Chains A and B, each alone.
Chain A
Amino acid sequence: QKEVEQNSGPLSVPEGAIASLNCTYSDRVSQSFFWYRQYSGKSPELIMSIYSNGDKEDGRFTAQLNKASQYVSLLIRDSQPSDSATYLCAVNNNAGNMLTFGGGTRLMVKP
């Protein structure tokens, strides 16, 4: 059974701070890792993908992957109130395959 685990939160950070979101996965053959942002009542929006160990930066977002520890994280720098949403971690083990989602972490950025 493939599992993706996230702390449900809420994670509350002040505006301008760094938000750190974490995710662990159980399937060692997982190859692709994704972070989606989901606003209440809306669909998941892809914000980051990562395939190799290490860091990947895109604007204010940095994804970190450690396959040995089966751990993925997302850092959001200079957090803004508009970043307040649920962040979903998703993994798959091959292109074309299903995504397995975590339950999401609710982030609240306070002005």
Chain B
Amino acid sequence: EPEVTQTPSHQVTQMGQEVILRCVPISNHLYFYWYRQILGQKVEFLVSFYNNEISEKSEIFDDQFSVERPDGSNFTLKIRSTKLEDSAMYFCANMLGQRKYNEQFFGPGTRLTVL
């Protein structure tokens, strides 16, 4: 069964550095999402992406964040200047896109540690 994959599994960076988190979605899925989960807290929505543009974003997704699908397959989340509070698990999720089946499937996540 196809799965969402994410790289790297763990990223350690210094405060102020840029990081790019990568996701390879399930091939025929049309909707892409990024969520994050700070240790011990709820899973929080960041952004959704459909038809090569952002369709929805949360208050967390400020100007330091960006998403793109540079080559039609990978889906990336960039944080331009990381802060300590960006330390979290970042999950990519996909949805097939048919109205009846609006189930979102999550990748294994990237643990981001900002020092």
Task: Give chain A residues whose Cβ lies under 8 Å from the Cβ of B107.
Answer: 43
B 23-55 to A, binary, CB cutoff 8 A, 1 in contact else 0:
000000001010100000111110010100001
A86 to B33, CA, bound (A): 22
A103 to B104, CA, bound (A): 18
Given the interface contacts A43-B109, A49-B103, does A96 sit within 8 Å of B95 by beta carbon? yes
A34 near B: Cβ within 8 Å?
yes
Task: Give chain B residues whose Cβ lies under 8 Å from the Cβ of A98.
Answer: 33, 45, 48, 56, 58
| Chain A interface extent, by class | 20 to 34
Least CB distance, B15 to chain A, in whole angstroms: 24
Within 8 A of A (CB), among B87-112: 89, 91, 93, 95, 97-99, 102-109
Least CB distance, A67 to chain B, in whole angstroms: 17
| Chain B interface extent, by class | 20 to 34
The secondary-structure label for the interface of chain B is strand
Residue of A nearest to B45 (CB): A98
A45 near B: Cβ within 8 Å?
yes
Given the interface contacts A96-B31, A96-B48, A97-B48, does A104 sit within 8 Å of B42 by beta carbon? yes
Given the interface contacts A43-B107, A92-B102, does A100 sit within 8 Å of B91 by beta carbon? no
Task: Give chain A residues whose Cβ lies under 8 Å from the Cβ of B44.
Answer: 101
Partner of A102, one of B42, B50, B98, B106: B42
